[in-house]
Amino acid sequence: MNYLDELNDIQRKAVTHIHGPVLVIAGPGSGKTRVLTYRIAHLVKEGIPPWEILALTFTNKAAREMKERITKVVGTKANRIWAGTFHSIFARILRSEATKIGYPADFSIYDTSDTRSAITEIVKSQGLDTKTYRANMIYSKISMAKNNLINPIEYKNDGERLLLDKQQKVPYVYKIYDLYVKKLQRAGAMDFDDLLYQMHRLLSENPENVVEKYREKFKYVLVDEFQDTNQLQYSIIQHLVKYDGSPQNICAVGDDAQSIYAFRGATIQNILDFEKDYPALKIYKLEQNYRSTHHIVQAANTVISRNRRQLKKTIFTEKGEGQPIRVVRAMSDNEEARHVVESILEQQHRKHYKHEDFAILYRTNAQSRVFEESLKRRRIPYKIYGGMSFYDRKEIKDCLAYLRVVVNPRDEEALKRIINYPARAIGATTIEKLTQIAAQQSWSLWEVIKRAHTLNFAKRTSKALREFASMIGLFQEKLATDNAYDLASYVVRMSGILKDLRKDKTTEGQSRVENVQELLDGIKSFVDNDEILEQAAHVEDKSLTSYLQNVILLTDLDTDEENTNRVKLMSVHSAKGLEFKSVFIVGLEENLFPSLMSIKSNDRNAIDEERRLFYVAITRAEEELTLLYSTSRYRFGKMVYNNTSRFLEEISPKNLQMDGTRSSARISGAGMSKQAVMRKSFARKTSNSTYKKSSSFQPSPIQKIVTGANIIHERFGPGKVISMDGSGMDKIATILFDQAGEKRILLKYAKIQVK
């Protein structure tokens, strides 16, 4: 079977048009990944060496899956393709080129918390207030600057920026930015943005003609999710593709309607500029949606039509009409969760879905908790993506910090983490002194520690420092000979981490020991060339350095679990590019989705971005889509009452099926005056007590439910049992409800009262 036969006309054109610049505008579910994959396969078939192809994807997982699919067409040489995220590909390149721009080849990568703590330190050192100069805020300003190619000098000379900072009462951000850049350089460290920024520097400063090398190398460049690239990323692509005599073999794939990363500098301006920068550009529009039913596609279209500034396209589907989108009102976040879980069970039964066919999508990661609890209670296997990940755990960070220091002792954030863990009598006072000396002498902290004996520290402290230095020295000696696993397990044992963790006999303590073991197992499989890491297939380098640089850029979406048959919980952002048979979008309330921030900013662009986010969420669903909101929920341990999300009202009622906790439930606010909404929400609150009574609803025993019985269902209200099937615990009743219509109910979970 020829792969070209699996494509529609436009897709095939986009795949086979391999020379010159191409832009593919691809609506949701339009076979974008398929085009990208087959295009690469086609390139290889046409005789292009795989290592001359650079494919920048949004997740490492996407890259890996693409490679797997390409392998089926062209064989194992597909592994030689340079495919990965911007960050991971550039980290890999920088590793071999870093010395050209003043970084060690073994540079560290600072994660968000390293970055934050580095900033806080600078703020303190400048005698500024850490409450006014909040690390998160400064970080996002610095990040924005880098992503817009503004260096500290330019920042300082940018009147507009300075004025804005002044208005926000943080006039010294420019100074912090400058010190921050210097601090990281001294530490031989790059933050996430630097992986792009320094790559850009490498290409634009072009030491030793390095840019020619990469232009020569990457003859074909493909960029996925182009709408989510920022100016910095665009500029890097320009360096690689746009130059005199370039064949301009660039293919960008994206959808302006799905641009959801403006907060990190992404701009659809890139799509618009693209046309200008490449006059020969050929545009293909993929408008047929192969994913979702008519109701879902239509709802998505209606919602997104409210946004201004869009590229014109019409998404259509030939899939059937499908089920209307269900809307469910809950009284509390807990009830919302309960409802989702019950619906999952009901749908599993009715449509024979597996766990993995479901996704619960939310605006903020903090919402995951209640769903986790409900799923656990019903023993439904699930996996939460994002939020607190394995690598965020303290014990894991401590271990990794040791390894980072061994590889790069100038890595100050890692060093500070472990210098007194496990406790070895090097306290805050000592560290303060060391830091001061480091600043005075412009040494790194590590150099000061090594020379501590020449400085007058107390005898006890001096000894502690000497022992620490020699321990790290011992580890470093093994760097040249040991592989990552041998070295890591040696470090974990000899540093005393394991011993310290084992002291704690509680369950949590035990699980920390297990986590460290799991980390070591992960390093082992990296060394043994298992596929846990995306690039393992062609990263020959099994050193610790190589491991560290790879591991930090992994997200949990990238790591495939053995048992994938689980309900997936994730933020809408994380769900980009994924699809599920049945999707639940939860927390559809004002101040949550759209987020409070976007409403407060009073910026239409911010709301438009939230709407695109909602569009992304809707279009993840293939067959079943359920939208939920709650009239009350806990936030910061306090009860808050939100209004229904405006987005719900933007979907045409003909695509919706109301399905509240009580038959009288309607979307509040839809077509109502503001006063009416207020009245209604007041009424709702007072009716809360009535509802509480109904939660003490007494279900009748299963035996009592028989054909012909008149019953009341906790959610669907009154109805009549039409027929019964199944046996024992799996008995099912088909019930005709007065309001909700005919439903098949699995009795073991349903709460039904016989009248």
109 lies in the site for DNA, by CB under 7 A: no
3-state secondary structure of 638: strand
- Give yes or no for residue 463 binding DNA (CB under 7 A): no
Query: Exposure of 646 by Cβ count < 10 A (0-12 exposed, 13-18 middle, 19+ buried)?
Result: buried
Evaluate whether 502 touches 459 at the Cβ level (below 8 Å).
no
| Active-site entry in 64, 69, 215, 620 | 620
Among the listed ranges 258-266, 286-294, 352-360, 699-707, the one in contact with DNA (CB under 7 A) is: 258-266
Binding test (CB under 7 A) with DNA, winner from 258, 289, 430, 626: 430
| Active-site annotation holder among 12, 32, 61, 215 | 32
Nearer to DNA, 503 or 674 (CB): 503
Helix (H) or strand (E) holding 723: strand 717-725
One residue of 105, 153, 388, 683 binding DNA per CB under 7 A: 388
Residue recorded with tokens 């182009």 = 226
Out of 30, 88, 374, 655, which residue is the one contacting DNA (CB under 7 A)?
88
Verify whether residue 467 is a known catalytic residue.
Answer: no
Catalytic-residue membership of 738 = no
- Examine residue 366 and tell whether it contacts DNA (CB under 7 A): yes
The one catalytic residue in 33, 657, 734, 739 is 33
- Indicate the residue among 231 and 298 with the shorter CB distance to DNA: 231
In the range 114-153, which residues lie near DNA by CB under 7 A? 120, 130-131, 134, 136
Window contacting DNA (CB under 7 A); options: 13-21, 301-309, 360-368, 659-667: 360-368
Query: Distance between CA 587 and CA 364 in Å, rounded?
Result: 9
Both tokens assigned to 612 = 């695109």
* Distance in Å, CB of 369 to DNA, minimum: 7
Contacts of 206 (CB under 8 A, 6+ apart): none
Number of residues that bind DNA (CB under 7 A): 51
Give the footprint of DNA on residues 169-228 (CB under 7 A): 192-193
Joined tokens for residue 256 = 């302006």
Is 596 within 8 Å of 645 (Cβ atoms)?
no
The span from the CA of 291 to the CA of 280, in Å, is 32
Rg (CA), the chain: 29
Residues 396-425 that bind DNA (CB under 7 A): 420, 423-425
Q: Which of 384, 553, 667, 745 binds DNA (CB under 7 A)?
A: 553
Count CA atoms within 13 Å of residue 468 on its CB side. Answer: 29
Instruction: Give the nearest distance from C-beta 291 to DNA in angstroms.
Output: 21
Query: How far apart, in Å, do the first and last CA atoms of the chain sit?
Result: 60
> Which one, 193 or 357, has the nearer CB to DNA?
193
Please count the CA atoms within 13 angstroms of the CA of 210 that sit on its side-chain side. Answer: 18
Q: Identify the residue among 179, 199, 557, 585 touching DNA (CB under 7 A).
A: 557
Q: Exactly one of 59, 231, 258, 535 is catalytic; name it.
A: 258
The span of 427-435, 533-541, 681-689, 742-750 binding DNA (CB under 7 A) equals 427-435
Q: Is the peptide bond before 594 cis (omega within 30 degrees of 0)?
A: yes
Interface of this chain with DNA, residues 630 to 659, rule: CB under 7 A? 634, 636-638
- Closest of 44, 96, 106 to residue 69, by C-alpha: 44
Q: Which is nearer to DNA, 284 or 362 (CB)?
A: 362
Q: What is the rounded CA–CA span in Å between residue 291 and residue 26?
A: 13
Site membership for DNA, residue 598 (CB under 7 A): yes
The active-site residue, picked from 224, 336, 342, 413, is 224
The neighbouring-strand residues paired with 569 are 360, 384
Q: Does 307 interact with DNA (rule: CB under 7 A)?
A: no
Residue nearer to DNA on the CB measure, 410 or 633: 633
Between 238 and 555, CB nearer to DNA: 555
For DNA, which stretch binds (CB under 7 A), given 164-172, 278-286, 361-369, 439-447? 361-369
> Distance of CA 434 to CAs 125, 473, 729, Å?
14, 19, 68
347 belongs to the binding site for DNA (CB under 7 A): no
Q: Is 258 a catalytic residue?
A: yes
Count CB neighbours of 365 within 10 A.
17
The answer to whether 574 contacts DNA (rule: CB under 7 A) is yes
Pick 47 or 636: Cβ nearer DNA: 636
Q: Is 64 a catalytic residue?
A: no
365 forms part of the interface with DNA (CB under 7 A): yes
**Local structure of 288: helix, strand or coil:** strand
User: Rule CB under 7 A: is residue 264 a binding residue for DNA?
Assistant: yes
112 touching DNA, by CB under 7 A? yes
Distance between CA atoms of 146 and 137, rounded to whole angstroms? Answer: 14
Contact 381, 567 (CB under 8 A): yes
**Structure tokens, 680:** 């209604």
Q: Is 298 in the site for DNA (CB under 7 A)?
A: no
User: Is 231 noted as a catalytic residue in this protein?
Assistant: no
Count Cα neighbours of 638 within 13 Å in the Cβ-side half-sphere: 4
Contact call for residue 597 and DNA (CB under 7 A): yes
231 touching DNA, by CB under 7 A: no
Pick out residues in 471-510 that bind DNA (CB under 7 A): none
**CA 384 vs CA 356, 370, 570: distances in Å:** 12, 12, 6
608 binds DNA (CB under 7 A): no
| Closest to 219 (Cα-Cα) out of 54, 412, 455 | 54
Nearer to DNA, 307 or 663 (CB): 307
Site for DNA in 34-63 (CB under 7 A): 59
Minimum separation from the CB atom of position 351 to DNA (A): 28
The residue from 225, 412, 608, 622 that is catalytic is: 225
Say how far apart CA 157 and CA 747 lie, in whole Å.
Answer: 70
SS3 call for 725: strand
HSE-CB at 444 with a 13 A cutoff on CA atoms is: 21
Nearest one of 732, 726, 730 to 705, comparing CA atoms: 732
Number of H helices, E strands in the chain: 29, 24
Q: 330 and 628 in contact (C-beta within 8 Å)?
A: yes
Kindly tell me which residue out of 51, 214, 263, 641 binds DNA, with binding defined by CB under 7 A.
Answer: 263
Active site residue 34: no
Which positions are annotated as active-site residues?
A: 32-33, 224-225, 258, 620
Binding site for DNA (CB under 7 A): 59, 85-88, 112-113, 120, 130-131, 134, 136, 192-193, 260-261, 263-264, 363-366, 369, 386, 388, 420, 423-430, 461, 553, 555, 557, 570-571, 573-574, 595-598, 606, 634, 636-638
